Amino acid sequence: MLAKTANGLYWMSRYIERSENTARLLETGLRMALTRIEPSHDEWKSVVETAGVESAYIQMHEEYSAQNVIDFLLRDKSNPSSVMSAIDSARMNARLVRTAITRDVWESINESWLKLKDVLKRPVSDSQLPTILGIIRQQSALIRGSLHGTMLRNETYSFSRLGTFIERADNTARIIDVKYYVLLPSDSYIGSSLDNVQWESILRSVSAHRSYRWFYKADYIPTNIAEFLILNKSMPRSLAFCYDKLNENLNVIGRLHNDQNICQEHSCRILKMLDSHDATSIFTTGLHEFLTNFIDENINLGTKISEQYRFYQ
Amino acid sequence: MPLSLTEIMQNTKINNTDINSDQTKTQFDEMYGTTDSNRLPYDGYNEWFKQQDPKSLKKKSNEAETIFRRSGITFSVHGKNEPTERLIPFDIVPRIISSKEWVALSRGLEQRVTAINSFIHDIYHGQEIIRAGVIPEELIIKNQAYLSKMIGVNPPGDVYTHIAGIDIIRTSENEFFVLEDNVRTPSGVSYMLENRETMMQMFPELFASVRVRSVSDYPKNLCRSLNAVAPPGCQGAPTIAVLTPGIYNSAYFEHAFLADHMGVELVEGSDLRVVNGKIAMRTILGFQTIDILYRRLDDDYLDPLNFNPDSMLGVPGLMDVYKAGNITIANAPGTGIADDKAIYSYMPEIVEFYTGTRPLLNNVPTYRCSETDTLAFVLDNLSDLVVKEVHGSGGYGMLVGPAASKRELSEFSKKLVNKPENYIAQPTLALSTVPILVKSGLAPRHVDLRPFVLMSDKIEITPGGLTRVALKENSLVVNSSQGGGTKDTWVLNE
């Protein structure tokens, strides 16, 4: 496989994942804004922070109003994480690797791009937002379905999976990290109803509020939530799940060569690190420190993949 | 747009008889001829057509557009703003060629392409044609498209024009003319294939009743044809790759399409480098040798060390690998000389010189303004002629006499007198028409045809080709960049 193709597949999937994650963040933001008793822009601010685009946002806007944030995260072309930018980049990469993906995959990405370009032509008001977010979610489900249903399970598929899970791991880690210190400024909040709303929003932003209930059959408890999103291997957006999948796919690619598999070694180490923890030990280490370290290691893996498989040279 | 043809901007009005004495005066329609009853090749289709509900046909027509848009069969248009992607309009009424007509056409094409290949070989070797006084030396030597780096180089199998797209126009029942020989990197073949796919998807019953020759083998044939001219340095089964300038190129869709259908890699210059005297592509497991490069990149950009030093699209050292016999480049560098318009005017002589037989396909009569008597004639008849720049393409710098104002004519006269060798002139021809589907039913529109010819150890011509159609009434401009569309082209089985 051409290194350029591997690179294209990887980024195609990262951007598809990103567009969906950004949409989900907005959904959470909207919900938080609706359930607030007093009007506040804090939630929209934390949405921007979670998306990791704070500095770019500040250059464009002075305050964190719903309208500004929605526009910045949905449509702004100067924001590489906006849904429109992400789907644009996903399609451009899909075009680049057109010969490596099935017609179904290409057409689903192309159709999503056409559809989203159309619905995001004009600024989106709060009242239209739920419908539009629904469309975005539906489109990414179509793309995922065609990838899942039509791609040969070989290294082509694996490179696209690597992109998905590196992006997702990064996203989940950031969501927990941002909420952790933004939402728990002092002990006095803990256990309050406001606190409950905050924690639920974390679960919602990774579509896990229902599955949390199925799994724990109990109220929101910070240690459970952390455990669920970080360590639970049956939860498809948890860090441990992502690293299970990364490992699996690096294995598939590794079978092609006899060289030392630097990437796999690295992902194995991260997985072992996750396995060695439980919620209590994470909180003892410090959740923020733990997550910051994880985010760095995850970025490192991305770099190692691009080096070992010659993405750029 | 990918179909970088010269405009066929001749006016419909038939002009002075002294220029076109043997030209048909009435419009020739391929479905109806010059009468009201349809021509034989269209019998089967018309039988089917009569039973169709016009409304449902219109619906099918919109459906076709959706199919094309969804599959991203687009070409990029680069304007002042960001690049946009456009669809080439597709008309659902096929253009039909009888098997007898096709046999005659393909014989002519085979003869012409054989001659062109021999001509290119000759001008980079012994130059017999110059010594025989058939073509003036300076026309070759001073030509921008003549690559001195190709002198004495022997391409594998002595094949230069692996893929040729010969543009044909028709003016009457029995008259076909070659308008242009595209032997650099002819495009449009993906539309030929996709048009057929779309038609078969929409009208399966039609293909059950009318027996149409298949075009779907083209990618397989192209693969076979290229494999047959692997370089001498190739060991084992040859590896083919398609070289594209990248995703921003207007014909990128076609490049990806061909690589995909041939099952080979689509590479850019940045994926390639010279490794141990061979061209290799960067894969996830290191560099892998390529033996045959189907390039969709102009000569000038191929190799910054040997040609344009500013090119970022090519591969430094490619020409040296080529000369050492370690890679096949298709089409060979330097073929552009044969689609030069000044050379075109000599094509009947070229065909006769190399094949020893009279040309089976006619040239459009072409006046070389470099010749003093001819220049005087062209100046006298300027308002009836189409004048083209010798090296121009895409319709730039040309004059359409019948459509030009007095001022334009006098300004162009000055240009002609100043630099006559830069121009050729042609009469305006009445292109045949084929009906398209419009609101009120069927209406005739002008068409041309680009069949694709593959050459290696043998010559293969896919039955059909790309039919381009001017969608505006009376317009002779079939270029998709100017509102032209395409049709599926059928060659009937016996």
Which residue blocks in B97-188 are alpha helix, DSSP H? 99-123, 128-131, 137-141
Per-residue pLDDT tens for B205-239? 999 999 999 999 999 999 999 999 999 989 899 99
The secondary structure of B63-88, three-state, reads: HHHHHHHHHCCEEEECCCCCCEEEEC
Measuring CA to CA, which residue among B483, B494, B469 is closest to residue B31? Answer: B469
Say how many CA atoms lie within 13 Å of A150 toward its Cβ. 15
- Nearest CA to CA, how far is B450 from chain A (Å)? 26
Distance CA A39, CA A247 (A): 45
B157: left (phi over 0), alpha (psi -120 to 50) or beta: left
Tell me, what amino acid is at B476?
L
- Letter string b/e over residues A22-38, b meaning 16 or more CB atoms within 10 A of that residue's CB: bbbbbbbbbbbbeeeee
pLDDT at residue B81 greater than cutoff 60: no
pLDDT at position B204: 93
Distance CA B314, CA B309 (A): 10
- Residue A98 to residue B260, Cβ atoms within 8 A: yes
Q: How confident is the model at residue B80 (pLDDT cuts 50, 70, 90)?
A: low
pLDDT at position B425: 93
Per-residue pLDDT tens for A286-311? 888 999 999 999 999 999 999 999 99
- Nearest CA to CA, how far is A118 from chain B (Å)? 14
- Residue B260 to residue A92, Cβ atoms within 8 A: no
Chains A, B: CB contacts within 8 A come to 57
CB contacts of B251 in chain A (<8 Å) are none
- Nearest CA to CA, how far is B215 from chain A (Å)? 20
- CATH number (1.10.1740.10, 3.40.50.11290, 3.30.70.940, 3.40.1260.10) of B232-326 reads 3.40.50.11290
What share of chain A has pLDDT > 90, as a percent? 62
Residue A141 contacts B, CB cutoff 8 Å: no
ipTM, 2 decimals? 0.81
Q: Which of A1, A99, A313 sits opposite B283 (nearest CB)?
A: A1
Measuring CA to CA, which residue among A30, A53, A81, A46 is closest to residue A204? Answer: A30
pLDDT at position A158: 97
Longest dimension (CA), chain B: 68
Residue A95 contacts B, CB cutoff 8 Å: yes
- Residue B252 to residue A256, Cβ atoms within 8 A: no
Residues 161-200 of A with CB under 8 A from B: none
Residues 211-250 of B with CB under 8 A from A: 247
Angle at the Cα of B379 (from B374 to B384), degrees rounded to 5? 100
Tell me, what amino acid is at B407?
R
Per-residue pLDDT tens for B102-120? 999 999 999 999 999 999 9
- Residue A111 to residue B286, Cβ atoms within 8 A: no
Measuring CA to CA, which residue among A90, A71, A67, A92 is closest to residue A82? Answer: A71
pLDDT at position B348: 96
Query: Which residue has 């150890």 as its token pair?
Result: B457
- Residue B271 to residue A114, Cβ atoms within 8 A: no
pLDDT at residue B282 greater than cutoff 80: yes
Residue B272 contacts A, CB cutoff 8 Å: no
Between B102 and B340, residue with greater pLDDT: B102
pLDDT at position A183: 39
Tell me, what amino acid is at A262?
I
- Bridge partners (DSSP) listed for residue B434: B445
Q: Which of A6, A111, A313 sits opposite B70 (nearest CB)?
A: A111
Q: Which of A4, A114, A155 sits opposite B69 (nearest CB)?
A: A114
pLDDT at position A188: 47
Distance CA A10, CA A159 (A): 5
Distance CA B118, CA B459 (A): 14
Residue B284 contacts A, CB cutoff 8 Å: yes
CB contacts of B267 in chain A (<8 Å) are 2, 4
What share of chain B has pLDDT > 90, as a percent? 68
Distance CA B278, CA B430 (A): 50
Q: How confident is the model at residue A201 (pLDDT cuts 50, 70, 90)?
A: confident
- Mean pLDDT within B307-334: 93
pLDDT at position A242: 98
Between B84 and A220, residue with greater pLDDT: A220
Tell me the backbone φ, ψ of residue B168, rounded to 5 degrees.
Answer: -115, 135
Average pLDDT, chain B: 88
Per-residue pLDDT tens for A16-64? 999 999 998 888 888 877 776 666 677 788 889 888 899 999 999 999 9
Between A270 and B481, residue with greater pLDDT: A270
Q: Tell me how long chain A is.
A: 313
Question: Is the peptide bond between A93 and the residue preceding it cis, with omega within 30 degrees of 0?
Answer: no
- Residue B103 CB partners (closer than 8 Å, separation 6+): none
Q: Is B177 helix (H, G, I), strand (E, B) or coil?
A: strand
pLDDT at residue A194 greater than cutoff 80: no
pLDDT at residue B54 greater than cutoff 90: no
pLDDT at position B2: 35
- Residue B267 to residue A106, Cβ atoms within 8 A: no
pLDDT at residue B485 greater than cutoff 60: yes
Distance CA A147, CA A153 (A): 10
Per-residue pLDDT tens for A98-121? 999 999 999 999 999 999 999 999
- Mean pLDDT within B415-442: 90
Q: Which of B69, B281, B284 sits opposite A6 (nearest CB)?
A: B284
Provide the residue ranges of all domains of chain B, joining segments of one domain with +.
5-231+327-491, 232-326
Cα A260 from chain centroid (whole Å) = 29
pLDDT at residue A8 greater than cutoff 60: yes
CB contacts of B256 in chain A (<8 Å) are 95, 98-99
Which residue blocks in B214-327 are alpha helix, DSSP H? 218-227, 252-262, 299-302, 318-323
Per-residue pLDDT tens for B435-478? 999 988 899 999 999 999 999 999 999 999 999 999 988 887 78
**Distances in whole angstroms, Cα of residue A34 to Cα of each of A39, A42, A203, B19, B138:** 9, 13, 17, 80, 80
DSSP class of B5 = P
Residue B445 near residue B12, CB atoms below 8 Å: no
Query: Which residue has 């060659």 as its token pair?
Result: B491
pLDDT at position B177: 96
Residue A83 near residue A120, CB atoms below 8 Å: yes
Tell me the backbone φ, ψ of residue B437, rounded to 5 degrees.
Answer: -85, 120
Residue A241 contacts B, CB cutoff 8 Å: no
Average pLDDT, chain A: 89
pLDDT at position A37: 63
- Nearest CA to CA, how far is B287 from chain A (Å)? 9
- Residue B282 to residue A4, Cβ atoms within 8 A: yes
